[in-house]
Structure 1
Amino acid sequence: MLRAYRMVEGQNERLEGAVAADALMSAAWIDLFSPTPQELAQVQDAFGLELPTREEMRAIELSSRVYREAGGVFLTATVLCRADAPVPETMDVTFVLTGRTLITLRFDDPKPFYGFHNQVQKQGIRLESGLVAFVQLLEAILDRIADVLEGTARDLNTVAQHLLLQGDERARLSSELQADLLRRIARGHDVTAKARESLVTLARVLAFVAALKEVVSDKGLRGRLKTMLQDSQSLSDYTAFLSSNISFQLDALLGLVGIEQNNIVKIFSVAAVVFLPPTLVASIYGMNFHHMPELDWTFGYPLALVLMVLSAVVPYLWFKRRGWL
């Protein structure tokens, strides 16, 4: 899909479908979302540049993600995607700054892009140039990451409340609750790790753009980029805090599960010790010896029962006194 916008008499005009080369050259933003080979060729021929392939966008070395060629500046960042889904994902987006046009190449539709299209079409955001569109789009991406991290922090606070209420007999961890808490912690870790990965690549892109002469000469853009760099750094620090919090909560949950398992094992161990003496008494009197004087006693059977009861009660009282139960 190819969608483009250009300024006409102070208003954004949307271009889509088969757009002439001169119209594309006048666009402030061209968004290529899972483009067809024809759409890719249309943009590449109009601007005289070669867009990276999907495999090239996945490269992690700096020289493959941030570079300048004759046709423009190529910037590839990892963006958090489907953060509300059970399994969050990331996607690679390439930003190309060429002349006064911003070209974005992507193969998924994260919320920042979807929302930015709506703002451009319905809220009248002015796309005066590709550089301005780039700054506005990155602001939307950072805002989305901040919202996702805030939601993750709220979910982790809920996990912490469950863990802190374990002194209350009414708040015991059931097996279902344990599994749910583990899923929440695992998802929080996944979201935080992917958000941090995205922030690292965005900071790299912002630092590169901030050094461009077009930005250095524009005080307003320079200030906005500096603010976004500070925001990305503060969000990265926040992800580090969330990561340490997640590690603590995971250790606490596993510790509580271990304590519960130890209590169960202790009960079985004490039960085995309590019933071991009666079994010993019963085994003695169950032996087939010919000469056993207690067999001729009138109260031999009641005596054996009393011995079995005492051998069970005495260890129990001893364990209770020692605080083992």
Structure 2
Amino acid sequence: MLSAYRVASGRLEKMAPGEALDEAVWIDLWRPLPAQVAAVQALGLLVPKREDMEEIELSSRLYHEGGYDFMTVVLPGVTPDGEQVSGPVCFILGPARMVTVRFHAPRPFETFPPRAEKTPVGCGGPDRLFLGLVDEVVGRLADHLETAGHGLDEVTRTATDARAALRGPLLEAALARVGMEGERISRVRLALLTIQRMLGFHALQLGDSKQDHTMKAMLKGLNRDVQALEVHADFLSARVGLATDTTLGMINLSQNATVRIVSVVAVLFLPPTLIASVYGMNFQFMPELAEAWGYPVALVLMFASAAGTWAYFKWRGWL
């Protein structure tokens, strides 16, 4: 899919399909078809393949070629099937336009176009669009961290609730939620790392001569935001470990309580079982078996032994 935008009356306007791309200030390629890639490459730039974007080497993700800066980051998003993934997004920045190439759907690419002119740097050129879009991405990552924090709060409340401690399914669901939030935080942490590298590369390529005061302030502000979110992501990662330990501890306590009940029941029935076993032996000389009072006495002994065991456990505080 190819989406092209031009600047009209100070706002970002989506171009109609089939219009010439010469006027486009931003071209967004999402899972592009070969014909769409060829149309963009006709403008004089080489669109990287997905395999190139997924390379882990820094030289493959951040480089300058043919008058364009190629900057690849890893952002969280969704696939067409609705699966949450982290995938590469390439920002191709030139003097006349910005091109983005992606194969999944990060939310900022949908929310940014209607509000591009509202950013501090506006949308008067590709550099300003780039900084505005990155600001939208950073804001979305902050939302992810906030969601993860709320999720960990709910897990902690569930794990420390005395009533929930007696219900295994709730604790199992809480443990699964911890894993989900931990995965969310790890995706955000990776995105922040790649964005920080991209902003450093962009600052070096841009140079002081091409930056006005507003863009300098915007770039510095983005770097500070990224660093602050990295600290917050590390804090939430520590909370994930704490929430996991708490939930597992409550699960162990719940299981121990169940095992203790079973053990107590087994011990209570042990003395009566011993008495029944004695009178179940096949010896020829057992005088009590021939007496009329033998059977009720055996029953009383079994009951008394169980009651005595229970009273002893209660006195020792084991129940």
Answer yes or no: same fold by TM over 0.5.
yes
Contact 1:100 1:131 in 2 (8 A): no
Residue of structure 2 aligned with 1:281, choices 265, 270, 275: 275
CA RMSD of aligned residues (A): 2.4
Residue of structure 2 aligned with 1:150, choices 146, 150, 166: 146
In the alignment, the residues of structure 1 paired with residue 117 and residue 217 of structure 2 have an alpha-carbon distance, to the nearest angstrom, of: 26
What CA deviation, in whole Å up to 9, does each residue of 1:53-112 have, x standing for no partner? 0111111111110111123110001111139x9852122111011113111111223210
In the alignment, the residues of structure 2 paired with residue 291 and residue 253 of structure 1 have an alpha-carbon distance, to the nearest angstrom, of: 59
Gaps in structure 1 of 5+ consecutive residues: none
Residue 90 (structure 1) aligned with residue 78 (structure 2): no
Residue of structure 2 aligned with 1:177, choices 156, 160, 170: 170
Q: Secondary structure at the match of 1:59?
A: coil
Contact 1:88 1:190 in 2 (8 A): no
Contact 2:70 2:90 in 1 (8 A): yes
Contact 2:159 2:174 in 1 (8 A): no
> CA, structure 1 residues 173+290, in 2 after alignment: closer, same or farther (shift >3 Å)?
closer
- Deviation of 1:11 (Å): 4.9
> CA, structure 1 residues 230+179, in 2 after alignment: closer, same or farther (shift >3 Å)?
same
Instruction: Report the number of matched residues.
Output: 316
Partner of residue 127, structure 1: 123
Letter of the 2:50 partner, please give it: R
What CA deviation, in whole Å up to 9, does each residue of 1:152-207 have, x standing for no partner? 211211111112222xxx44442331232122111101111111111111111011
What CA deviation, in whole Å up to 9, does each residue of 1:122-161 have, x standing for no partner? 99x9421110000000000011111121112112111111
User: Superposed, which structure 2 residues align to 1:5-154 within 5 Å?
Assistant: 5-8=5-8, 10-20=10-20, 24=22, 26-46=23-43, 48-82=44-78, 88-120=84-116, 126-154=122-150
Q: Indicate the percent of aligned positions where both proteins have the same amino acid.
A: 38
Residue of structure 2 aligned with 1:163, choices 159, 163, 175: 159
In the alignment, the residues of structure 1 paired with residue 85 and residue 230 of structure 2 have an alpha-carbon distance, to the nearest angstrom, of: 18
In the alignment, the residues of structure 1 paired with residue 164 and residue 189 of structure 2 have an alpha-carbon distance, to the nearest angstrom, of: 34
Q: Secondary structure at the match of 2:104?
A: coil
> CA, structure 1 residues 255+172, in 2 after alignment: closer, same or farther (shift >3 Å)?
closer
> CA, structure 1 residues 10+287, in 2 after alignment: closer, same or farther (shift >3 Å)?
closer
Partner of residue 179, structure 2: 186
Letter of the 2:255 partner, please give it: Q
Q: Secondary structure at the match of 1:31?
A: strand
Partner of residue 300, structure 2: 306
Residue of structure 2 aligned with 1:208, choices 171, 195, 201: 201
TM-score normalised according to structure 1 size: 0.89
In the alignment, the residues of structure 2 paired with residue 173 and residue 278 of structure 1 have an alpha-carbon distance, to the nearest angstrom, of: 31
In the alignment, the residues of structure 1 paired with residue 241 and residue 35 of structure 2 have an alpha-carbon distance, to the nearest angstrom, of: 48
Gaps in structure 2 of 5+ consecutive residues: none
- Deviation of 1:267 (Å): 1.5
In the alignment, the residues of structure 2 paired with residue 157 and residue 277 of structure 1 have an alpha-carbon distance, to the nearest angstrom, of: 48
Larger mean CA deviation between 114-123 and 142-151 belongs to 114-123
Q: Secondary structure at the match of 2:281?
A: coil
Letter of the 1:37 partner, please give it: P
TM-score normalised according to structure 2 size: 0.91
In the alignment, the residues of structure 1 paired with residue 273 and residue 166 of structure 2 have an alpha-carbon distance, to the nearest angstrom, of: 36
What CA deviation, in whole Å up to 9, does each residue of 1:186-230 have, x standing for no partner? 110111111111111111101111222445642321221111111
- Deviation of 1:17 (Å): 2.9
Residue of structure 1 aligned with 2:316, choices 311, 315, 322: 322
